[in-house]
Structure 1
């Protein structure tokens, strides 16, 4: 091996080690600067301590507070367990809340309310039930929380005496509140039902 080649290999190794050391020093400096300036201001958010399902009662045992970046707190979140449980009476879950998922005001009832159909209705909305069968109910694949269109199929006799069928879209993107007597949005097994309750 020639001397020039050997010198180049040694220099490449020295410069490689020097580059790694300098990058590590720079990264350590950046970490300490971020920690000192307090760029990430911490707050707290109430999350579910255990998985909650429709109708579960909230308590100090089922909730806990976790650190959360102050600039990204979800809308409707509670900062303390006391705030989440405030008011006269208990609160219940209106939908499935996974463990460590933030508890939002839209996912639970108000103080003293029960997890009933009226608790999931939007402001100024009404619940309307319609009769369905295995075909109209999409073979049981419609669940609470889904959105559906309501269609009217009608037959009109023409001037020539022949019947003509028409389908009109009456309502679009209607929220399904319940199927039969089940309003739990975590339900995921297809069931042929006799009625579907919609928010209108």
Structure 2
């Protein structure tokens, strides 16, 4: 009797498993097929194959074509469909700004400099490059690098008006938020170094600023004050509050002791 019950139970379980398998297969067959993923249209644009530094002369091996979403390929990018010889056309240009590997090449950041030097090539239209001597003490301890922004400070020693004690030292900012083009002959940071201790700084100036700096070099000592990177878009030139120099505070050194005072008109 018990054997018969066991056989019946086994048959029932087997039938149930078969029924479940058949039901699952029917359900899978009734599922709708997955829709194919839409392929975005792409184009090939010209990019930097490796990092390109400021002032670097581009060679064909520095460039390559790369697949790019057509919707993101703006008119300022070099499209292979429209310029199949793009690599040959761009080779020989000088980078006015750095490029990272894989970054699209934009002609606005390049310049053709046939017969011209590097500095003339990267100098913006209407600007002038003027050099001035610096030292570690007057150049922020060597931490000023190309493309940094600085204020130019003029310090002059004058006779004490009352005729007593040591001379009066007067300092003023003559140029503000000026871009550094190069330190000595290095237009970019040296590899493995976070500072350049040079003796000459080349500054990017407007013509009237170049005249101001040239006069200042003959009348006193120049120092460069490093500005924050967030000041890149601040107004350039000479701050309005610095125009009236005589109303500024100066540092009077008497017998080796510094005392703040105000210059007299």
Which secondary structure does the structure 2 equivalent of 1:86 belong to?
helix
Note the aligned Cα RMSD (angstroms). 3.2
Runs (5+) with no aligned partner, structure 2: 1-33, 206-265
- Tell me, in whole angstroms, the C-alpha distance in 2 between the residues paired with 1:75 and 1:127: 32
Displacement, 1:138? 1.4
Corresponding residue to 1:86 among 61, 82, 89? 89
Distance change in 2, residues 1:139/1:75 (3 Å): farther
Contact kept in structure 2, 1:96 and 1:186, CA below 8 Å? no
Which secondary structure does the structure 1 equivalent of 2:86 belong to?
helix
Q: Give the match for residue 179 of structure 2.
A: 175
Displacement, 1:43? 4.2
Distance change in 2, residues 1:183/1:74 (3 Å): farther
Q: Which structure has the greater CA radius of gyration?
A: 2
- Tell me, in whole angstroms, the C-alpha distance in 2 between the residues paired with 1:50 and 1:115: 24
Runs (5+) with no aligned partner, structure 1: 1-27
What is the count of residue pairs matched by the alignment? 166
Q: Give the match for residue 151 of structure 2.
A: 149
User: Are positions 1:190 and 2:191 aligned together?
Assistant: no
Q: Give the match for residue 19 of structure 1.
A: none
Distance change in 2, residues 1:58/1:93 (3 Å): farther
User: Are positions 1:67 and 2:67 aligned together?
Assistant: yes
> 1:100-139 maps to which residues of 2 (within 5 A)?
100-110=102-112, 112=114, 116-139=118-141
User: Are positions 1:166 and 2:170 aligned together?
Assistant: yes
> 1:21-100 maps to which residues of 2 (within 5 A)?
32=37, 35=38, 42-53=42-53, 54-59=55-60, 61-70=61-70, 72-73=72-73, 76-80=76-80, 82-83=85-86, 85-86=88-89, 90-100=92-102
- Tell me, in whole angstroms, the C-alpha distance in 2 between the residues paired with 1:111 and 1:117: 10
Which secondary structure does the structure 1 equivalent of 2:95 belong to?
coil
Contact kept in structure 2, 1:91 and 1:108, CA below 8 Å? yes
Contact kept in structure 1, 2:183 and 2:196, CA below 8 Å? no
